[in-house]
Amino acid sequence: MEGFDDKNHLNHNHTHGTGIADPILSAANSSSSTNTSIGSSVQESELEKSLNDALAPKEQEKLTPVSDDHNHSPVVGRFELHVDLNNVDSPRSLDPKKVARETSFRDNLGARGDILNPRGGNNVVIGSGDSDIIRGTGRGFNTITTGTGRDTIILGKETTNRIFDFDPSSDRFVLSGINPKNVVIAQGKNPGKGGLEQPLDSSNNALIIDKKTGHILAALPFVKASDINESHFVRNSAEANASLRNLKELGVKNQRGSGTLTGTQGRDRLIGGDGNDFLYVGDDGFSFNTARGGGGTEFPFKTDSPGTSELNFELEEGVFRVNGSYENFDGFPLFSQGEQEIDPNAKILNGSDPKALVEGFLKVPQDKEGNPLSGTHLHYSPAGDSRGNFADATVIRFFENNPIDAKSGTISGEFKLSPEEQAALLAGTLYVNIHTNIDGDGDGRAGFPTGENRLNINWDVVRFV
């Protein structure tokens, strides 16, 4: 199926500022106006140093000044970390007068919340079910799932944070060493898809940008920029950083190292190294409800199928196990009968060329783990919760279909997920859809090759402890 976005996104529970273009941005786009005065640059460097010095020594970063010949085209994997303000939609600057000053992070740490600091490198961070503090200031690239609670993400210069589950109704940012007047909020315009590797400036993403350098400080998939305003930001202070020292009396357990750092059910302080680290809530930090499909749930191509389906999930030591069933379907799962063509009675709901549809699938005979082609796929994008409905045709994994009869059967899969895939799963941003084909019982109905049921692994299914 093709990837489509629902233009009628559901509204959040409360309203934020609208995306009105800031007239000063036209000046900020010119090369002559992006450089601030030497005095201003010195002040900002001194501020950054004072904030860093207030951290515990084990958390202090190696600070290097941003030079005038700063490279505006670094790439991490396939991700461009900078964007031209001319290439985003409805950019607007923060009003510095409306951005308050943070005085104590300790006050924002939940009863079982974690302090997570991945430092440098290309990292993945998965938070807890309570209010966490996540320090995204190490001048690397971080993929973050905050979990639930009122989470605080600290943004720093030359660091990009891709936050899979930012919730404007509860989460917020702290600007560390960044002047609020240099912060721009915008919506991406890039139409590119690609599953978990969709571009940071995707049209699905809200962006937080440092307009001095064009650096993307935060990319927020499936968030509307119009839902972000000054109330979501505060300025960091040395006092706030110092408040996170000496937390033993709060029961905080410290862990520092490289590779995978796994938290506990209590308060944890996880500090990564300068390499690529995985800061993880732990297998006991979440559970899954049953995901169900049916009743025309196949977004974006609603069906009139009477079929229903359900899946149960388990994630343990990075292994994702899925088991479930489908029943009363109009057709067999696609390719389960070894077919190479679309049944003439199948319904093509999006006007696709059936021949091209099948040929496109057949070009990918197995997924990245070697699981053979099937008609049940794991994809990236949420639907059915407050974020609105999205779809991305990029296949992440193939499931195994086992028909019991012409209308029912079982679905199973066992996959080793990368840290980024685990973060996407626990952010509630994956879904499964079941493509069908072949009229097995001769009733003249042969399924939906574009998808008969969709099962969303969304915020209603993923439950943090």
The total number of structural domains in the chain stands at: 2
Q: Is 3 contained in some domain?
A: no
Residues 422, 274 share a domain: no
Q: Is 176 contained in some domain?
A: yes
Residues 441, 333 share a domain: yes
Q: Is 173 contained in some domain?
A: yes
Residues 373, 277 share a domain: no
Q: Is 321 contained in some domain?
A: yes
Instruction: Decide which of 281, 304, 327 is a domain's last residue.
Output: 281
Q: Is 13 contained in some domain?
A: no
Instruction: Decide which of 254, 281, 308 is a domain's last residue.
Output: 281
Q: Is 126 contained in some domain?
A: yes
Residues 212, 107 share a domain: yes
Q: Kind of pairing, strands 319-327 and 75-76?
A: unpaired
In this prediction the pTM is: 0.89
Residues 327, 250 share a domain: no
Residues 323, 260 share a domain: no
Residues 99, 118 share a domain: yes
Residues 154, 67 share a domain: yes
Residues 365, 222 share a domain: no
Q: Can you give the pLDDT of all 465 residues of the chain as single tens digits?
A: 333 344 333 333 333 332 322 222 232 333 333 344 555 666 778 778 878 877 777 888 777 765 555 555 567 778 999 999 999 999 999 999 999 999 999 999 999 999 999 999 999 999 999 999 999 999 999 999 999 999 999 999 999 999 999 999 999 999 999 999 999 999 999 999 899 999 999 999 999 999 999 999 999 999 999 999 999 999 999 999 999 988 888 899 999 999 999 999 999 999 999 899 999 999 999 999 999 999 888 888 899 999 999 999 999 999 999 999 999 999 999 999 999 999 999 999 888 888 888 898 899 999 999 999 999 999 999 999 999 999 998 999 999 999 999 999 999 999 999 999 999 999 999 999 999 999 999 999 999 999 999 999 999 999 999
Q: Is 20 contained in some domain?
A: no
Residues 323, 261 share a domain: no
Residues 309, 191 share a domain: no
Residues 255, 114 share a domain: yes
Residue span of the structural domain in which 29 resides? 25-281
Instruction: Decide which of 281, 298, 329 is a domain's last residue.
Output: 281
Q: Is 49 contained in some domain?
A: yes
